[in-house]
Amino acid sequence: MQLKNFKRESIIPLPVTFISTVSEDGVGNVAPYSCLMPILRPFDLICVATAGVMRDTFDNMKSQGEFVVNLPGVDMMDKVIPTAKFVPPEVSEFELAELVEKPSKTLKTPGVDGCYAWMECKLHKIVDEEYDKFPYALVLAKVVHLEIRDDIYDAENGSWDVEKAKPLMMTESNEGMHFCTVKDMDFFEPYGAMFPNGKDPLAGMYK
Ligand SMILES: Cc1cc2nc3c(=O)[nH]c(=O)nc-3n(C[C@H](O)[C@H](O)[C@H](O)COP(=O)(O)O)c2cc1C
């Protein structure tokens, strides 16, 4: 079956994250963002794609230079629509969606309590342009503090229990979003397997 080209995101399972920000006036904001990725393995950079209009999140990222990427489990599915609805910047989505603030370690912007992991981020660079006359931006940010719930993380080998965390993800169809999560296949390959000498050149970073 051939699909329309713009449907490319509906065939990639996407993470559902909540990005929390604070406005110039100190109002807390939370919104779901799925177009988000880490940039390469050795870096501490992430990239978020955002529409350039009608996004308080983007305005707050620019004015405050910081934000938190909160990673929810499927138990927070019902918070997606309340935080995605358009509301004026003076309305706090923490209050609207009955979310509890989690004080951040390095930023004044709070995270969202009840998630399984949190990335405190500082703005690195914004790539701003128009595509087909629609303004959008790629927001590059540096993770300055990264935290995961202790009960799902194995500090010995850095693996985490996806069956317990149940990360919230989604696929898309013509009329909306289908929420899903991740299943562990119990199949492991070391990074070193990609290299001719069998050694991961970045192994030292993980010690
Ligand atoms: C699951 C989900 C994922 C979304 N991902 C993005 C995204 O990656 N980029 C974006 O610009 N908008 C995305 N949106 C739309 C914003 O969340 C929505 O426009 C929201 O109202 C923005 O809130 P704000 O004005 O408080 O920033 C997504 C919406 C949903 C429901």
pLDDT 10s digits, 7-37: 999 999 999 999 999 999 999 999 999 999 9
Residue 37 belongs to a domain: yes
Among 35, 81, 139, say which to mutate for ligand 1: greatest number of ligand atoms within 8 Å of CB.
35
- Residue 55 CB–ligand 1 contact under 6 Å: yes
Tell me what the pLDDT averaged over the chain comes to: 97
Cβ-based neighbours of 141, under 8 Å, separated by 6 or more = 45, 46, 47, 48, 61, 67, 121, 122, 123, 124
Ligand 1: residue whose CA is nearest its atom 2? 32
For residue 129, which phi and psi values (nearest 5 degrees)?
-160, 180
pLDDT of 162 reads 98
What gap in Å lies between CA 45 and CA 141, rounded to an integer? Answer: 6
Pick from 62, 15, 57, 54: nearest CA to 37: 15
Q: pLDDT tens digits, residue range 167-188? A: 999 999 999 999 999 999 999 9
Q: What is the mean pLDDT of residues 72-94?
A: 95
Residue 202 belongs to a domain: no
Q: Give 54's pLDDT tier (boundaries 50, 70, 90).
A: confident
Residue 206 belongs to a domain: no
CATH number at residue 37: 2.30.110.10
Sign of torsion, CA 7 13 18 21? negative
Ligand 1: residue whose CA is nearest its atom 14? 33
Give the number of the atom of ligand 1 that is nearest the alpha carbon of residue 170.
Answer: 1
- Residue 118 CB–ligand 1 contact under 6 Å: no
The total domain count for the chain is 1
What gap in Å lies between CA 137 and CA 51, rounded to an integer? Answer: 6
Query: How far does the centroid of ligand 1 lie from the alpha carbon of residue 32, in Å?
Result: 5
- Residue 33 CB–ligand 1 contact under 6 Å: yes
Cα dist from 141 to 1, 122, 196, whole Å: 37, 5, 33
- Residue 57 CB–ligand 1 contact under 6 Å: yes
Residue 199 belongs to a domain: no
pTM: 0.98
Which range marks the domain in which residue 50 is found? 5-194
The helix or strand, by DSSP H or E, that contains position 128, with its residue range, turns out to be: strand 117-131
Q: Give 207's pLDDT tier (boundaries 50, 70, 90).
A: confident
Ligand 1: residue whose CA is nearest its atom 9? 50
Among 30, 57, 85, 112, say which to mutate for ligand 1: greatest number of ligand atoms within 8 Å of CB.
57
Q: pLDDT tens digits, residue range 108-156? A: 999 999 999 999 999 999 999 999 999 999 999 999 999 999 999 999 9
